[in-house]
Amino acid sequence: MSEVRLTQFSHGAGCGCKIAPAVLDKILASDFTAAGFTNLLVGNESKDDAAVYELNNGTCLISTTDFFMPIVDDAFTFGKIAAANAISDVYAMGGNPLMALAILGWPVDKLPTELAQRVLDGAREICGQANIPLAGGHSIDSPEPIFGLAVTGSVQKENLKKNNTAQPGDLLYLTKPLGVGIITTAQKRGLAEGDDIHEAIRIMTELNVLGAEFGKLKDVHALTDVTGFGLLGHLIEVCEGSRLSAQLNYSEIPLLSNLKAYVAKFIYPDNTMRNWQGYEPKVKGIGSESLLTLCDPQTSGGLLVCVDSRYQQEFEGCYNAKGLKRIGKMLPPSPGYVVEVL
């Protein structure tokens, strides 16, 4: 059982399994957000990280789901990564998770059921770190292994953070380095160094608990997490939702150790180019390296935070020690581009 490589049983990996942005736009062309539900504060209209429903006492329920195929070979680690990734959507709304339900698809004729148990064990460990129960779930017999969570969370209405409320002049911060898509692709091809794989796994299994703290900060204007559409795609969502443009300082963007060595060998996930096909008309200043890193689909990536520039010194004083990096700023809308890479 220890010799089974889960990634060999799936055609995609992690959030790189996401449907390409251009294709997804066509699928979502019909508005399926029910009109008339005035308590639904966040639906599908802003492409945000989770749905949010206001209760009568000022508390809001956060509801989200996320699942994908294996991004690593070890079943326990796969469960941890999938759980951390799903729970992140609650933190990205400024909230705290309450409980989770498992979503499991398993090829029972191809893979031992003991491995599925290990996936669930990994998810339970992460749920324990988030102080929530893995309270149940649903499973099916599927051609490929699939795992994720449906997560319920809560947030006070005044602490709710959205991805479409950035303001001109806001400074952009990122809480995790980029590059897990590239490293895990190298691993699947047998080209990744052990230390680089371990660093990527550490990043992917780290909970984005800072989001709950950011929710309480009035000078944090907008918040989202960086997943399958890469930093560039999720920043474009922030820009278009807020009707602004953005400027990225590429030299300031944190990357995983040794990432440039893999980029130099043109190792990247297929979805990198699918992402870029949806972004190209909206981006100015992209280079050969920055295209591969900024469009790299992240799994359980960091938080992208939009902060009032007047709060810069205090914000950085509190959070720089926790790995947060300032990477750019929001600007008034530009007629020629959505995001400029310097």
Helices marked H in 70-173: 75-91, 113-129
Backbone angles phi, psi at 28, to 5 degrees: -95, 15
Q: 130-150 burial string, b = 16+ CB within 10 Å, else e?
A: bebebeebeeeeeebbbbbbb
Rounded to an integer, what distance in angstroms lies between the CA atom of residue 162 and that of residue 53? 13
Amino acid at 327: I
Catalytic residue among 15, 17, 60, 295, which? 15
DSSP annotation of 332 reads: S
The answer to whether 106 and 116 have CB atoms below 8 angstroms apart is yes
- Per-residue DSSP letter, 72: S
Vertex 82, ends 16 and 121: CA angle to 5°? 150
Q: What is the dihedral of CA 50, 102, 30, 56, to 10 degrees?
A: -50
15: annotated active-site residue: yes
Q: Show Cβ contacts of residue 69 under 8 Å, excluding neighbours closer than 6 positions.
A: 10, 11, 12, 13, 14, 17, 144, 145, 146
Closest CA to 11 of 119, 147, 144: 144
The residues carrying an active-site annotation are: 15
